[in-house]
């Protein structure tokens, strides 16, 4: 059994205060008068959100202790550069909160049940993977089974023609979307708070879009996930300190799967064909990361087959490239949160625009990610080349700060 170190010690006064407040909120929400007052109409969202936040805030410290008790810890080694052995059962707090928050409010549909069963399978496979490092093929097969559960209960995209081939296309698109987003969110779980914070922001905007379109059950799923992530986040992202707990693959794949499934629950493009772009704006960051890494790995010859693509693990993701610009890990996380929020606002605005304005919003998003790519790849390579040249020109054998600063500010050499 690995020693828990600082992470296993008693909670700080601030944590005790938050836990006490969360317990108070939970008790108040369970009182019959308050429960009845918030059980109907436009007030139910208040109960679901605050219930999930409070429960997550209470269950996350429990997940920390459970991880140490079971020895389910992420040990620093290889590409893992965190300081201490860190609990890996963050997904337990998220999935338990998500499920309980929906169940105790007695408002759920058949589609919500399908998402719950399928996401539980994804979480369980993630737990096994965190423990035994499953083959990527086995994980892919489990994800296909989970997609099959969604399809069985009618959770799939619905914008294709009502023909036999349209139905098959919807099933294929559903599988590609769910598996793609699930793994894309998992790939972004490489820095403290990144996946949980990004998922919280996406869930927040999903809830807004659901309210805009009058989709009650869709909003319940998004709000439950939003609250669960917010209650978990203070333990996962602590500026200047190590995380007390990680999501683990069990948490990050669960978040990705629920987000992808929740989007499919929504009705898109019924009144405005441009609305079909809303899910892509909401999921723009994970989609961008997966696209960028795939293109770069193929272009540089790092992966040549589908199996190599599944198995490849490298420090070339969105967050790694941002941090390598010199802004640091925590700042890179905040930048990605901001970009996710920006794209979420664009998605909300798109609900009320038509025609050329939809195209302009999509072009705006594409230009933003194009600019980010330019800085992360080409400008970074340019800086490295100038640094090497400045080092070689130095008379004392080391880099001359003045020479490097001059080179960075005045060089007109083309990027390579």
pLDDT at 146: 95
pLDDT at 215: 78
The size of the chain, in residues, is 416
Give the 3-state secondary structure of residue 86: strand
- Condensed to tens digits (0 to 9), the pLDDT of residues 169-203 reads 889 989 999 999 999 999 998 898 999 999 999 99
pTM, two decimals, is 0.86
Is 286 inside any structural domain?
A: no
Pick the closest to residue 285 from 262, 261, 333, 318 (CA basis).
Answer: 318
Q: Residue 158 is encoded by which pair of tokens?
A: 């619905």
Give the 3-state secondary structure of residue 74: strand
Is 304 inside any structural domain?
A: no
| Whole-angstrom distance, CA of residue 330 vs CA of residue 191 | 8
| Whole-angstrom distance, CA of residue 259 vs CA of residue 221 | 9
Is 230 inside any structural domain?
A: yes
| Whole-angstrom distance, CA of residue 145 vs CA of residue 398 | 57
Pick the closest to residue 182 from 102, 265, 123, 113 (CA basis).
Answer: 123
User: 């499920």: which residue's tokens?
Assistant: 99
Is 126 inside any structural domain?
A: yes
Taken in order 24, 211, 148, 196, the sign of the CA dihedral is negative
pLDDT at 355: 74
Is 127 inside any structural domain?
A: yes
Is 10 inside any structural domain?
A: yes
The segments of the chain whose pLDDT lies below 50 read 1-9, 408-409, 411-412, 414-416
| Residue 261 structural domain | 5-266
- Condensed to tens digits (0 to 9), the pLDDT of residues 313-327 reads 778 888 888 888 778
Is 354 inside any structural domain?
A: no
User: 């936040």: which residue's tokens?
Assistant: 53
CB contact at 8 A, 221 and 257: no
Is 250 inside any structural domain?
A: yes
Pick the closest to residue 88 from 203, 2, 199 (CA basis).
Answer: 2
How buried is 385 (Cβ within 10 angstroms: 0-12 exposed, 13-18 middle, 19+ buried)? middle
User: 């994804």: which residue's tokens?
Assistant: 122
Number of structural domains, the chain? Answer: 1
| Whole-angstrom distance, CA of residue 141 vs CA of residue 255 | 18
- Radius of gyration (Cα) for the chain, nearest Å? 23
pLDDT at 1: 34
pLDDT at 7: 40
170's CB contacts (< 8 A; 6+ apart) are: 156, 157, 158, 159, 160
CB contact at 8 A, 369 and 403: no
């Amino acid at each position: 059994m690995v020693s828990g170190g600082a992470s296993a010690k008693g909670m700080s006064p601030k944590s005790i205060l938050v836990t006490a407040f969360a317990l108070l909120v939970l008790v108040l929400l369970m009182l019959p008068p308050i429960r009845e007052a918030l059980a109907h109409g436009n007030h139910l969202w208040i109960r679901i959100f605050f219930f999930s936040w409070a429960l997550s805030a209470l269950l996350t410290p429990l997940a920390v202790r459970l991880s140490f008790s079971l020895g389910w810890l992420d040990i620093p080694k290889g590409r893992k550069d965190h300081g201490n052995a860190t609990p890996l059962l963050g997904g337990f707090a998220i999935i338990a909160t998500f499920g309980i928050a929906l169940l105790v409010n007695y408002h759920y549909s058949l589609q919500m049940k399908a998402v719950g069963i399928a996401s539980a399978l994804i979480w369980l496979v993630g737990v096994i993977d965190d423990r035994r490092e499953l083959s990527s093929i086995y994980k892919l097969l489990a994800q296909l089974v989970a997609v099959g559960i969604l399809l069985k209960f009618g959770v799939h995209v619905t914008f294709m023609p009502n023909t036999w081939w349209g139905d098959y296309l919807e099933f294929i698109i559903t599988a590609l979307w769910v598996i793609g987003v699930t793994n894309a969110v998992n790939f972004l779980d490489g820095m403290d708070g990144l996946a949980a914070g990004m998922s919280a922001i996406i869930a927040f905007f999903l809830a807004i879009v659901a309210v805009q379109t009058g989709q009650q059950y869709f909003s319940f799923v998004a709000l439950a996930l939003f609250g669960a992530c917010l209650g978990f986040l203070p333990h996962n992202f602590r500026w200047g300190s190590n995380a007390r707990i990680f999501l683990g693959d069990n948490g990050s794949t669960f978040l990705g799967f629920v987000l992808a499934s929740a989007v499919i629950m929504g009705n898109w493009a019924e009144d405005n064909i441009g609305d079909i772009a809303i899910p892509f704006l909401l999921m723009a960051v994970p989609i961008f990361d997966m696209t960028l890494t795939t293109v770069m790995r193929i272009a540089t010859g790092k992966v040549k087959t589908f199996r190599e693509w599944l198995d490849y693990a490298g420090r070339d993701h969105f967050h790694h490239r941002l941090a390598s610009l010199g802004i640091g890990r925590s700042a890179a996380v905040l930048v990605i949160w901001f970009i996710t929020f920006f794209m979420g606002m664009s998605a909300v605005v798109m609900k009320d625009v038509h025609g050329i304005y939809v195209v302009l919003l999509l072009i705006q998003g594409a230009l933003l990610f194009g600019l980010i790519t330019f800085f992360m790849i080409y400008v970074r390579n340019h800086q490295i080349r100038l640094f090497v040249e400045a080092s070689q020109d130095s008379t004392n054998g080391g880099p001359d700060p003045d020479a490097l600063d001059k080179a960075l500010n005045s060089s007109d050499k083309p990027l390579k």
